[in-house]
């Protein structure tokens, strides 16, 4: 998607602080961190949100969660705790229309969900 900011990050057209990359997945530091550890994990393929996940790409999303687990270890929040969030659509507060998961940790997070 030519006008998608995360596709541009995948294509390295705009810089980002990449912390993980393989053929299908990428993780980078959020540009406006909401916690000491705030990493965005994405599939490289342009899916708009969780709503776009089909049976064909469910294994990819499963693998993405393996990356989340390893990043939680690498950034040393696996024992203190962390949150994984994917915002979807207007009520979900989604700003970037490319499926992504936030990994947040490094401090006690607000217990509220909404
Ligand atoms: P949301 O769509 O509400 O889940 O939020 C999108 C997230 O992407 C926000 O936390 C932004 O700070 C983050 N973001 C937007 N542009 C960039 C960028 N160029 N590099 C890293 N993170 C970004
Ligand atoms: Zn995209």
Q: How far is the CA of 44 from the centre of ligand 2 (A)?
A: 7
Which ligand 1 atom is at minimum distance from the Cα of 96? 2
114 in a domain, yes or no? no
Ligand at minimal distance from the CA of 48 is 2
113 in a domain, yes or no? no
The CA distance from 65 to 61, in Å, is: 7
82 in a domain, yes or no? yes
Task: Return the sign of the alpha-carbon dihedral for residues 14, 31, 20, 85.
Answer: negative
CATH number at residue 11: 3.30.428.10
112 in a domain, yes or no? no
Please report which helix (H) or strand (E) contains residue 63, including its range.
helix 58-74
Nearest to 100 by CA among 15, 41, 14, 53: 41
Q: How far is the CA of 71 from the centre of ligand 2 (A)?
A: 22
50 in a domain, yes or no? yes
Indicate the range of 13-27, 52-66, 84-98, 100-114 predicted with least confidence. 100-114
75 in a domain, yes or no? yes
Name residue, tokens 């962390």: 82
34 in a domain, yes or no? yes
Mean pLDDT computed over 13-25? 98
φ/ψ of residue 29, rounded to 5:
-75, 135
Range of the domain at 90: 5-105
Instruction: Clarify whether 100 is annotated catalytic.
Output: yes
Instruction: State the total domains in the chain.
Output: 1
Is the pLDDT at 40 greater than 90? The verdict is yes
């Amino acid at each position: 998607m030519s006008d998608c900011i995360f596709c541009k990050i995948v294509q390295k057209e705009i810089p980002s602080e990449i912390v993980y990359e393989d053929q299908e997945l990428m993780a980078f530091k959020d540009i406006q961190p909401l916690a000491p550890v705030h990493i965005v994990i994405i599939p490289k393929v342009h899916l708009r949100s969780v709503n776009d996940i089909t049976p064909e790409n469910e294994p990819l999303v499963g693998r993405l969660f393996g990356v989340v687990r390893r990043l939680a270890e690498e950034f040393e929040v696996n024992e203190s705790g962390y949150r994984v969030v994917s915002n979807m659509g207007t009520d979900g507060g989604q700003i970037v229309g490319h499926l992504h998961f936030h990994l947040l940790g490094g401090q006690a997070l607000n217990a509220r969900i909404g």
